[in-house]
Amino acid sequence: MFPKWFSKWNSEHPTNIYGPGILVGGVGGAVVVAALLVSWGQPFATDSLQTGPRGTGMSVPEFEADLATPDPAIEAVFENQPFLPQGDEPLARDIYENVQVLGDLTEDNFNRLMLAMTEWVAPDEGCAYCHGDVELEEYGSDDLYTKVVSRRMIEMTQNINENWDGHVNANKEVGVTCYTCHRGENVPSDIWFRLGPLTSATAGWSAVQNRVTVQSQSTSLPSDALESYLLEYERIGVHNLESRVSEDVTDPDVPTWQNTERTYSLMNYFSNSLGVNCVFCHNSRAFYDPAQVTPQWSTASLGIAMVQEMNNDYLVPLKDVYPEHRLGPVFADAPKAACKTCHKGYQQPLQGLNVIADWPELATTGAPDYAPATQ
């Protein structure tokens, strides 16, 4: 098949052709695959959410297979339509003792909601988680801290649904219930506590960064971003974008480089909490121009203010109610909430499922509106 001179030369100069052959074959195969990807396109179908003007890269792409995969927690969400009050039923506050919230509900709707809360928060322990292993006549007691906390959490849930509609229902009616955060667990996942200085060997700025923490999303960014911005109302901002400006860094209205890094830490937390990238809220060519942000920026801004109120008005004041083992490991502070406590990595908690439809008792601090449930 080959010329005699070639066979003779090859026999006199033997060599291992397998190594180079495998290398050439591997490189050639990679080139072919790359060419096919370029000519045929992405083999896995994707979809994208356009967050701003086309041509600016302002979109959030996701694989369609991932979008079609529901949040597994949705399986535990159940429907339970309320009983339409007739107007002459006895109310919960007239039947049971020490009903400080939800007392204006009928007995049937009160018990319906109590059973649902049990499934949302303590499916294994049942009613005893808040009331203890006692007779029904003793359920009015506030001996267990869990009952005192749950009462305040009902008020917080009603406040969120009633006063933070612009964030919770930005796209459509969704609402929140206890299950939005708890997901069948006594203590919601993704709560947080203050960390303070991470090392006593250094002082100042270096004491709160360059350490892997949950709050910093395992980066070297500052670990006190949640504490500063979602608890202490500090201004979220970055250093002046102009060079060589004359500013007094001791002025509280002047963001320093340290504030900038803390802001990046918070933004990184936002992205991970919602499973999105920066252009979900910001314009990629004008990150710092508030006139060119996306509609989601306003929704997120309301969310920040909502969480600040939740932490300061509802969660932190419960510190003296909790037992020691429920407090933070460093400062013995009360557990606090942030974006991931509800979102769990999705753009909308439970992927935008309307969880409030069957629970008008949690939608307002006033009298429940049962009309939608009867239509």
Whether the per-residue pLDDT at 75 is higher than 70: the answer is yes
Architecture of domain 192-343: Orthogonal Bundle (1.10)
Please give the average per-residue pLDDT across 170-190, as a whole number. Answer: 96
Residues 6+ apart with CB under 8 A from 157: 176, 177, 178, 362
- pLDDT tens figures, 122-142: 999 999 999 999 998 899 999
Query: What pLDDT is recorded for position 196?
Result: 78
- pLDDT tens figures, 271-285: 999 999 898 999 888
Q: Per CATH, is 70-189+345-375 categorized as 1.10.468.10?
A: yes
Share of the chain above pLDDT 90, in %: 57
Please give the average per-residue pLDDT across 186-203, as a whole number. Answer: 84
Report which of residues 7 and 234 the model is more confident about: 234
When pLDDT is cut at 50, 70 and 90, the band that residue 375 belongs to is: very low
Strands, E, within the chain: which ranges? 46-50, 59-63
Amino acid at residue number 46: T
Query: What pLDDT is recorded for position 21?
Result: 61
> Cβ distance 362 to 356 under 8 Å?
yes
Q: Tell me the C-alpha distance between 92 and 133, whole Å.
A: 21
Q: Tell me the C-alpha distance between 361 and 364, whole Å.
A: 7
| Other beta carbons less than 10 A from residue 15's beta carbon | 8
Fold match flag (70-189+345-375 vs 192-343): yes
| Other beta carbons less than 10 A from residue 55's beta carbon | 7
Please give the average per-residue pLDDT across 31-39, as a whole number. Answer: 80
Q: Tell me how far CA of residue 181 lies from CA of 27, 145, 162, 303, 346, in angstroms.
A: 50, 19, 17, 15, 13
Whether the per-residue pLDDT at 318 is higher than 80: the answer is yes
Q: Tell me the C-alpha distance between 15 and 11, whole Å.
A: 9
Please give the average per-residue pLDDT across 327-339, as a whole number. Answer: 96
Domain ranges (residues) in the chain: 70-189+345-375, 192-343
Whether the per-residue pLDDT at 374 is higher than 50: the answer is no
Q: What's the first-to-final CA gap in the chain, in angstroms?
A: 86
Amino acid at residue number 103: G
Query: What pLDDT is recorded for position 15?
Result: 67
Please give the average per-residue pLDDT across 338-367, as a whole number. Answer: 95
Query: What pLDDT is recorded for position 205?
Result: 62
Please give the average per-residue pLDDT across 74-100, as a whole number. Answer: 93
